[in-house]
Amino acid sequence: MEPKAAIPEAWVVSLFARMQAIFGARFSALWADADLDLVKRVWGEALAQVQPDDMRRAVMLLPREKRPPDLPRFLELCEPVPVAQRASFGPARLPLFERADAATVDTCMTRMRDGLAPLAGVSPSPQWAFDMLLRGTAHNGRPLGAEARRIATDAVVSAAGRACVADAPTAVRARYRAVFEAAYRARGGVPPSRVPGEDDEEPQEATL
C-alpha cells in the first residue's frame, strides 16, 4: 500500500505550535489521550488536499475561534471563500505577467495617441445635457431617471452651460435658454441676467 500524500511534518508542527500559542492548554487537551505522531500524520494527509492560500487564510482566522479547532473544523476554515467575500482577506494577488519589450510599449502608445488625436483641441461642452433635457429621454428612448436628470441639470446651470446658451445657434438658443432658466428655478434659484447675444429671441418656457 502506497503512503498517502501529506504536507511536510514540519508544517504540521509549526501549525500546532501556533495553535498552542493561541489557545494554550485547551489545545494540548485535545490530544491528551491520543498518539501525537498519528495525529500529526493524519493532519498532514488531510491538509495535503488544501490549497496553500486557503491554509494561510485559515491560520489568519484562528484568533477568531472561540475554541481550538479539531481537524474537521480546521478543514472548514480552509474551505475556499466565495468571490464576494474575498475582499475581507486582503487584496487579491495579480497574476504575473512578462514585462513588455520596448517595441510593444511603443506600439501601444502609438495606438493610444492615434485614438486620442481626434479629441485634441476639443473643448468639453454641456450641449448633451441641454439636448437630453429637451428630449426628455435617454438615447435609447427610456425616461430619464432622477440621477441622470440631476447630472444633466448640474451641467446646464454651470458656467459652461451658460456659455453654451450664449454660443448656441440662433435656431436653438431660445430653447437652450428656457432649459437653463428652468434648471435654476427647479432648484429654487433665480436665473442670472442674460448675457450679450441672448436678448434677441422670444423667451420660451421649459419644464424639467
Q: Measure the CA–CA gap between 51 and 55, rounded to whole angstroms.
A: 6
Quick: pLDDT tens for 53-87: 889 989 999 999 999 999 999 999 998 865 445 55
Q: Kindly write down the DSSP assignment for every residue of 149-197, as one continuous string.
A: HHHHHHHHHSHHHHHHHHHS-HHHHHHHHHHHHHHHHHTT--PPPPPTT
Task: Give the pLDDT confidence score for residue 3 in this predicted structure.
Answer: 56
CA distances to 10, 34, 77 from 40, in Å: 10, 11, 18
Q: Measure the CA–CA gap between 136 and 2, rounded to whole angstroms.
A: 75
Q: Measure the CA–CA gap between 190 and 132, rounded to whole angstroms.
A: 22
Using CB atoms within 10 Å of the CB of residue 148, give its burial: 0 to 12 exposed, 13 to 18 middle, 19+ buried: middle
Confirm whether pTM is higher than 0.75. Answer: no
Dihedral angle, C-alpha 202, 203, 205, 208, nearest 10 °: 120
Question: Integer distance in angstroms from the first to the last C-alpha of the chain?
Answer: 81
Residue with cell 472548514: 76
Task: Give the pLDDT confidence score for residue 75 in this predicted structure.
Answer: 92
Instruction: Convert 110-128 into a string of H (helix), E (strand) and C (coil).
Output: HHHHHHHHHHCCCCCCCHH
Task: Specify which residues 143 forms β-bridges with.
Answer: 137
Residue 23 in contact with residue 64, Cβ under 8 Å? no
Task: Give the pLDDT confidence score for residue 105 in this predicted structure.
Answer: 75
Task: Give the pLDDT confidence score for residue 72 in this predicted structure.
Answer: 92
Task: Give the pLDDT confidence score for residue 196 in this predicted structure.
Answer: 46
The radius of gyration of the chain's CA atoms, rounded to the nearest angstrom, is: 34
Domain map (residue ranges) of the chain: 9-82, 126-187
Residue 61 in contact with residue 77, Cβ under 8 Å? yes
Q: Measure the CA–CA gap between 58 and 61, rounded to whole angstroms.
A: 5
Name which CATH class applies to 9-82: mainly alpha
Mean pLDDT, consecutive 10-residue stretches, the chain (208 aa), reads 72 88 85 82 90 90 91 90 54 54 79 74 77 84 82 84 86 88 80 56 52
CA 124 centroid distance within chain: 27
